[in-house]
Chains A and B, each alone.
Chain A
């Protein structure tokens, strides 16, 4: 299952295990991403908290936790290749893995169609 946030994150969930990234729309808006600041593995974060920072040539953008939980892994490849987020925002450019503490929070997120409608409306 993949769900989307209004702040342009996606989360792919399998049971309590989630993988989080930003959407292709978001990477296009940001432009060339040159530095990625990822959370500490083991850190617990709450829904809506700042979880990562993406720095592009233009600006810095916060990535918010789409759900509450504990960070179980981060995408270390982004340290040397932040451009992966531009090239492959919805797969190889994932940011972090999270163990969901409140799976019901997923009900508040959007399905793909609703998200695509949102970005289409601008």
Chain B
């Protein structure tokens, strides 16, 4: 599949790759340059491949509180919340951002690879709720404008008095078109995500790039999107979270709320608490040169204790970084080794995020 910006990406010289069935830009100028542009100025991402599901109806709030791990009843109208869909066995169906318009209208942004699985999961659990569940990915696009200059750039397209706090959103108008502007993102550098009809996306893309040319704005591909999210310590489904990884075992454990009432998977997650087989995830910074990758083995004092779930070279720290999943307890500051291409490289457990802009 292609987003409406496919031709624009190719014209900008992007290297295109397959991502969950979508032809997406891996990078334009280079992963590291784009990564640093987001950290120091601003970057514009096409993330129209993301799955989107509209959930509406009199029971929408209670249904979503029942089918996800975070608090939905107390969520404010006009806010977004990170929340996780869990199997009844405790494994993770998907991690999502849930945008709440009001108690009866929600919008769920899901991972592209999980779109159909999420739909089936939601529908299977919706039988006793008065809700409609409708995918909208085919008609709408999403842009992410991220970085310290994002606010200045966005205000050139949306002038006037407005203020959005982190994780809040509002529907605004650009040249007569509705645009949902959300102060959300996946980079750790702050900024906005813009949701609009497909017909409006190329206009927003072109006008944002033009508005930001004096602020150092540049297009950024999914290569830097991954290195940025990893520096920020965010989960990526298929790595930190999976059907066989419980959210409570992951860096997203904070999004599981125990006092919100019953939710799908709760018994399994409760059973896992205190279970000797429960795993945990930690950030590790390498002190020796090398690039850790997913599935590299992790050792402590020569004993294998787990695997890397995501690893990369951090452009901001200029060293290897990894999220590791281990069965043992790991303390901050503790030394571990990660086996990279046959060499055991020394590293240290740190408090996430790796990098805080």
Contacts and interface: CB of A to CB of B under 8 A. Distances in A.
Contacts of B235: none
A58 B225 CA distance: 12
Contacts of B27: 31
Contacts of B290: 35, 37, 55
Contacts of B293: 60
Contacts of A58: 26, 31, 223
Contact of B31 (A32, A37, A55, A79): A32
B357 interface: no
Given A57-B32, A57-B312, A57-B313, A34 B291 contact: yes
A57 B223 contact: yes
Chain B interface mostly helix, strand, loop or mixed? mixed
Contact of B223 (A31, A34, A53, A86): A31
A57 B31 contact: yes
A58 B27 CA distance: 11
B58 interface: no
A55 B223 contact: no
Interface string A1-43: 0000000000000000000000000000001101101000000
B70 interface: no
Interface string B21-35: 000001100111100
Contact of A55 (B26, B30, B32, B291): B291
Contacts of B248: none
A83 B27 CA distance: 16
A115 B312 CA distance: 32
B341 A53 contact: yes
B289 A35 contact: yes
B236 to A, nearest CB: 15
A31 B30 contact: yes
Contacts of A31: 15, 26-27, 30-31, 223
Nearest to A59: B293
B280 interface: no
A6 B141 CA distance: 42
10 contacts: A31-B15, A31-B27, A32-B33, A35-B290, A35-B291, A57-B32, A57-B223, A57-B312, A58-B31, A60-B291
Interface of A: 31-32, 34-35, 37, 53, 55, 57-58, 60, 79, 83, 86
Given A31-B223, A86-B30, 15 more contacts: A31-B15, A31-B27, A32-B30, A32-B31, A32-B33, A34-B32, A34-B313, A35-B289, A35-B320, A37-B290, A57-B31, A57-B227, A57-B313, A58-B31, A60-B291
